Structure 1
Amino acid sequence: MGMQAAVQLVYPPQCLSCDALVTTDFGLCARCWRDTPFIAGLVCDCCGTPLPGEEGGAPVQCDDCLTIARPWGRGRAVMLYRDNARRLVMAFKHGDRLDLARPGAQWLHRAAVPLLQPDTLLAPVPLHWLRLFRRRYNQSALLAAGLARLADLPHCPDLLVRRRNTRSQEGRDREGRFRNMEDAIRVNDKRRWQVEGRPVLLVDDVMTSGATLGACADACLAAGAARVDVVVLARVAKDG
């Protein structure tokens, strides 16, 4: 403790999002915390989108999840993909801010508590090898690894394989996003034995339409997974 205190005197902890000083490592200052739309209260049991009303014990779903047949069972999200949450995700994803993996995993752990069953296998949404080569890391794999450590559950970073280099989902409508992901994901043949008969929790950074997570869940179920749930750092949700 003495050494840690000495280090903090020389290198005082700073906000994850700005240069303001904070009291603990990997924290947000008061202003950035207010600007980060963490999700709390009643949420869609399928995707984690916040819903109006109070928690009543019975699971409820948002309009999107009532309209679209989701291949996974339950889902949770840490924050809405806007304001400071968007800035944090973009810095983590494209700005080499690997230090954000640790607090991101801690936030995921709190959100994913209802989904963490014994023997659950955690797996990230995969990148195609070309994109992984350019980016040098898979942000979803870093989050999944951190969550697995906190939850003391097994993690399989290469459970899923992106069999073709799908083009970016940005700018596509919902139908285009789902079409772009058709037959794009499969279970790694060398890891198939790990998924058979057990629950799988998929981890990703952002959910928009759910097309990518849906393709991953379909692949896991086709390989014999007992069930599939999902947890994401940020959820794109409609205003209002």
Structure 2
Amino acid sequence: MGWGSQLIASLKEGLRPVADLVYPPRCVSCGGAIAAQGALCAECWGELEFPGEPACKQCQRPMGSAAAAKSGTCYVCAGDPPRHSGIIAATLYNDASRKLILTYKHGGKIALAPLLARLMAARIDAPEGEGALLIPVPLHRWRIWSRGFNQAALLAREIAKAGKGELLVDGLLRAKRTPSLGGLGREERETALAGAIIVRPSRASQIAGRNVILVDDVLTSGATSDACISALLDAGAASVKVACFARVVDGRGLGGGKSGVPKSETPEAITAPGAT
């Protein structure tokens, strides 16, 4: 940390009591009083569900028992091996994580990015993050203009600040606008996304031969992550791991499909059959 950064950090710390007096710390989920800004209260924290063991060594999917986990691979990955090199999920998708994601992405509360990213970064081990490129799932420029930000890019930036990789915010490009994929079958989703996500030509040389961590907010059963992974591997990436804040499991749309790759979706679409 340079002298300027240290000075800024010291000023922030010195002004913290004043800020807390004017704006008392509140839980970012329920609004209850807490001790520090940008955190969760004990009750909301307790409602989050975190990945545990036993779990699939390839996709981190929870296994029902130690006996089922003997092989180390879930039935989805065993039947159709994924192209990714692993999944890093901060939480499992439930009501608590859904509320945070909707508030963050659709409520425009970008101040939640540091909290969500800290939980993600905590799951990225040093060997995974050392020298890896952090590349967010891209949004089409029209979606960015309407929303005002790319939620995955903000998370990737915060993870990079935590020292868990090198940020390459524009490594992927959504080259064409795609329709809503909710309600479409797999083949229709693949057709809609065909050629939609590519490696940005000016970044191809930076990606070739590198380990990549693909960053998004939610990982479920859509086709977007598959398209991102394929584009990165086709461009010569050595490997691609997927990091997300919330991971959908237990039959709520997490399937392998043709490539066995769990996919990224917006949380509000998960209730729709075949949603993306």
Report percent identity of matched pairs. Answer: 37
Matched position secondary structure for 1:106: helix
Matching residue within 9, 16, 30 for 2:42 = 30
Residue number in structure 2 paired with 1:86: 98
Cα 1:115–1:155 shift into 2, 3 Å: same
Residue number in structure 1 paired with 2:223: 211
Cα-Cα RMSD: 2.6
Distance in 2 (alpha carbons) for counterparts of 1:46 and 1:23: 38
TM-score by length of 1: 0.89
> Unaligned stretches of 5+ in structure 2?
1-12, 253-276
Distance in 1 (alpha carbons) for counterparts of 2:71 and 2:217: 24
CA drift of 1:160 comes to: 0.3
- CA deviations on 1:195-237 (whole Å, 9 max, x unpaired) are 0111111001111125211111111111111111111111121
Q: Report if aligned partners of 2:88, 2:243 keep a CA contact under 8 Å in 1.
A: yes
Residue number in structure 2 paired with 1:194: 206
Cα 1:23–1:79 shift into 2, 3 Å: same
Distance in 1 (alpha carbons) for counterparts of 2:122 and 2:66: 19
1:122 has 2:134 as partner:
yes
1:100 has 2:100 as partner:
no
Residue number in structure 1 paired with 2:5: none
Residue number in structure 2 paired with 1:47: 59
Distance in 2 (alpha carbons) for counterparts of 1:106 and 1:24: 15
Distance in 2 (alpha carbons) for counterparts of 1:66 and 1:115: 25
CA drift of 1:16 comes to: 1.1
Matched position secondary structure for 1:116: helix
Q: Report if aligned partners of 2:175, 2:198 keep a CA contact under 8 Å in 1.
A: yes
- CA deviations on 1:70-122 (whole Å, 9 max, x unpaired) are 22111121122221111111111111010110001101101222662422111
Distance in 2 (alpha carbons) for counterparts of 1:102 and 1:143: 7
Report which of the two structures shows the higher radius of gyration computed on alpha carbons: 2
Distance in 2 (alpha carbons) for counterparts of 1:60 and 1:172: 32
Matching residue within 152, 176, 180 for 2:192 = 180
Distance in 2 (alpha carbons) for counterparts of 1:83 and 1:60: 28
1:75 has 2:66 as partner:
no
Cα 1:109–1:193 shift into 2, 3 Å: same
Residue number in structure 2 paired with 1:146: 158
One-letter code aligned to 1:159:
G
Matched position secondary structure for 2:218: strand
One-letter code aligned to 1:127:
L
Residue number in structure 2 paired with 1:236: 248
Matching residue within 164, 173, 176 for 1:161 = 173
One-letter code aligned to 1:103:
L
Residue number in structure 2 paired with 1:62: 74
- CA deviations on 1:150-171 (whole Å, 9 max, x unpaired) are 0253111110011221223333
